[in-house]
Amino acid sequence: MSMKYSDIKERLKFEVVKETENNLAYLTHYFQNPKNGVSKYYKSNAEKQLYKIYDKLDFVEEPNFQAYLPIKWDIPFPPPKKAKFEFVDLFAGIGGIRLAFQNLGGQCVFTSEWDKFSKQTYDANFGEVPFGDITKINEENIPDHDILAAGFPCQPFSIAGVSKKNSLGRAHGFLDATQGTLFFDVARIIEYKRPKAFLLENVKNLVSHDKGNTFRVIKETLENIGYNIHCKILDGKHFVPQHRERIIIIGFDTRVFNREENFEFPKMPEKKFAIKDILENNVDPKYTLSDKLWNYLQEYAKKHKAKGNGFGFGLTDLSGISRTLSARYYKDGAEILIPQEGKNPRRLTPRECARLQGFPDNFIIPVSDNQAYKQFGNSVVSPLFQAIGKEIINCIKKQ
């Protein structure tokens, strides 16, 4: 006997309400890994949760879901029936990197993400609720894996983030105790679990932050725990109509590869993209800027232009590519505005933001527009990471 994942969610009344709540994480990770040796990491806590709700269930004779596995995954991106490799997804967001590695045949065996709204989107698409605060996760409780992927928080290093924190008199980079030091949680997991390879992602400004000292510390930390490092700034514009530069850090375990992995970053496609190709045909008028907001943005741009600054709105050339989509897009949409004949420009819709990051149209957006803008602004260009992931996997196959 098996059941649809949607039926299980309904009967168990799944609801992601707290960033720190891991009960659903244990259950869903248990469901996703029934027979691959990974379930032992989740079984005990998952069954504790099943015992708690046992009396409320009318479809379970005993509090053990193994009899109902494999589950019928009625979600857009189910786990592979036969995995080619295993990976973990840290600082997972809404799963842009997971989507890339799953498309390559990978089984995700552990996921972590703090934001509860991102967890809702992640679960809607992948059938798994991520674990919460990475600083409170013991590395011993993470399953073995071939590849570790992590897009650790970029705000402490981004140009906008540094500028904002400077203006508020707050620390940035590694001095930001809440976000800047999360890299070291990634490092402790890598050192303990020793995946064959890892992929880390951050903003381009990480390389130049604090006169290069931040990046030097990151690189030396990873080398000191025994990994050969490959770094490159890549632009998502080769896969989607968006200028989005990110630093990619790839590491290979020297104990496994002896520095002979011969890894090369993928050659960037020459195909030209245009933002008009990702626009929806019939767009709700609510996405058109009000007269008040449009006038404000124009006056704001004039003021900064007079001061010699480059701040201002971005009225996009429909035959070209856009600026970088950011997590602040929900505020006014200023960096990417779509011109409209005879009326004020408009924001992108959440679906257009998804397309701008390379997500397919069957990717579910279960949250409000504002949350969706934040989520896609914080995400990655998924096809770019699929191309990078393919090269990592090729090295592992050759090893």
Per residue in 270-288, pLDDT (tens digit) is 999 999 999 999 999 999 9
Phi and psi (nearest 5°) for 241?
-80, 60
Query: Which two structure tokens, joined as six digits, stand for 258?
Result: 């002896």
Top pLDDT among 210 and 377 is at: 377
Whole-number pLDDT of residue 153: 80
C-alpha 110/C-alpha 137 separation (Å) is 11
Please list the helix, strand and coil fractions of the chain in percent, rounded to the nearest 5, in that order.
Answer: 45, 15, 40
Residues 379, 94 contacting (CB under 8 angstroms): yes
Return the minimum-mean-pLDDT range out of 101-105, 128-132, 203-207, 224-228: 203-207
C-alpha 352/C-alpha 338 separation (Å) is 11
- Does the pLDDT of residue 169 top 90, yes or no? no
Give the whole-number percent of the chain exceeding pLDDT 90.
70
Residues 114, 122 contacting (CB under 8 angstroms): no
Residues 90, 120 contacting (CB under 8 angstroms): no
C-alpha 95/C-alpha 104 separation (Å) is 14
CA atoms within 13 A on the CB side of 152: 26
Residues 256, 399 contacting (CB under 8 angstroms): yes
**92-96-99-104 Cα dihedral, nearest 10 degrees:** -100
- Does the pLDDT of residue 36 top 90, yes or no? no
Single out the residue of 181, 143, 146, 129 nearest to residue 15, CA to CA: 129
Whole-number pLDDT of residue 162: 39
Whole-number pLDDT of residue 178: 37
C-alpha 44/C-alpha 50 separation (Å) is 10
Q: What CATH code would you report for 280-317+328-377?
A: 3.90.120.10
Superfamily (CATH) of domain 77-269+380-398: Vaccinia Virus protein VP39 (3.40.50.150)
Top pLDDT among 312 and 118 is at: 118
Domain chopping of the chain, boundaries: 77-269+380-398, 280-317+328-377
- Does the pLDDT of residue 15 top 80, yes or no? yes
pLDDT tens readout for residues 187-212: 999 999 999 999 999 989 888 877 88
154 catalytic? Reply is yes
> How far is the CA of 201 from the CAs of 173, 234, 250, 281, in angstroms?
15, 10, 9, 33
C-alpha 127/C-alpha 37 separation (Å) is 19
Residues 24, 129 contacting (CB under 8 angstroms): yes
Top pLDDT among 54 and 217 is at: 217
Amino acid at 205: N
Whole-number pLDDT of residue 1: 61
- Identify the active-site residue in 108, 154, 353, 395: 154
Residues in contact with 298: Cβ distance below 8 Å, sequence separation at least 6, in sequence order? 313
Whole-number pLDDT of residue 154: 59
pLDDT tens readout for residues 122-168: 999 999 999 998 999 999 999 999 999 999 885 544 444 434 434 43
Whole-number pLDDT of residue 166: 42
- Does the pLDDT of residue 91 top 90, yes or no? yes
